[in-house]
Homo-oligomer: A and B are copies of this chain.
Amino acid sequence: MAEGAGTADGPGAADGADATRATGRIEGFLDLDLDRASRRGAPEAVLCDAKSVEQVAAIAAEYARLHEAGREDLGPVLFTRADAARAEAVLAALPDAHHDPSARFLAWPAAPPAPSGGLVIVACAGTSDLPVAREAQLTAHYLGRPTRLFADIGIAGLHRLQSRLPALREAACVVVAAGMDGALPTVIAGQISAPVVALPTSVGYGVAAGGQAALTTMLSACAPGIGVVNIDNGYGAGHLAAQIARWAPESGE
């Protein structure tokens, strides 16, 4: 293979390679947003599935390095949509991270903040939506909210919803994950006074494939009080719910 194409400002190396390691900017591809916690009140999150295993490993290693270098202000960092290979890459650098394989989620350090603010409940109809629902719950958990997960609410049998209503009414925010027809957020929002974060999942086939049907249903909901996030964006739903519940009084339980 020929040499010579990769001169300093040429295509062989991205700019920024000379960035100082003190700021979390490395190798021309990484510029950690370390002050996000202070600016936005929430930790950094690393979306893993569009990155190579090597890139994920490098990012995890950079956090480990900064931690060893004595930076005290690193809030928890979340690694989302991490398959087995990428999770292994994170754990190699940060072995004490918390890892939930079904949610493809890691958090480091493993200890969440002390819970504050109102209760966040994540609700879904059942087994298929659980991975995304758990990603939402874990995100809210690591942003410092008390959380619960109800995985047995489906509108094909309203009795299951009705038995959960008293508990749902104690939440400061309810995340509702649903695939297929995506009708659950509408039904729940019509029964409670707290905001609902609607989280469409890609569970479905035919016209429901990829979550499109669930998404449009949620955006079209007859009941007001619903904010929708992207399909399978459990992280975004949990983040928004944690922000919403921040000022709410702590609920019972």
Contact = CB atoms under 8 A, between A and B. Distances in A.
Interface of A: 1-5, 9-11, 13-16, 19, 25, 28-31, 33, 36, 39-42, 45, 47, 49-52, 55, 81, 91, 95-100, 107, 109-112, 118, 125-128, 130, 134, 137-138, 141, 146-152, 154-158, 160, 167, 172, 179-183, 186-187, 189-195, 197, 200, 202-233, 235-236, 239-240, 243-244, 247-249, 253
A203 B229 CA distance: 17
- Give chain A's interface secondary structure class: loop
Nearest to A118: B247
B91 A42 contact: no
Contacts of A97: 1-2
Given A51-B128, A213-B216, A222-B155, A195 B244 contact: yes
Nearest to A128: B50
B111 A15 contact: no
State how many copies of this chain the complex holds. Answer: 8
B213 A225 contact: no
A210 B210 contact: no
A9 B148 contact: yes
Contact of A219 (B111, B187, B207): B207
Nearest to A183: B183
14 contacts: A9-B147, A14-B149, A28-B152, A29-B127, A39-B193, A40-B192, A50-B128, A181-B222, A183-B183, A195-B227, A204-B220, A205-B233, A206-B231, A225-B243
A193 B40 contact: yes
Contact of A181 (B95, B149, B221): B221
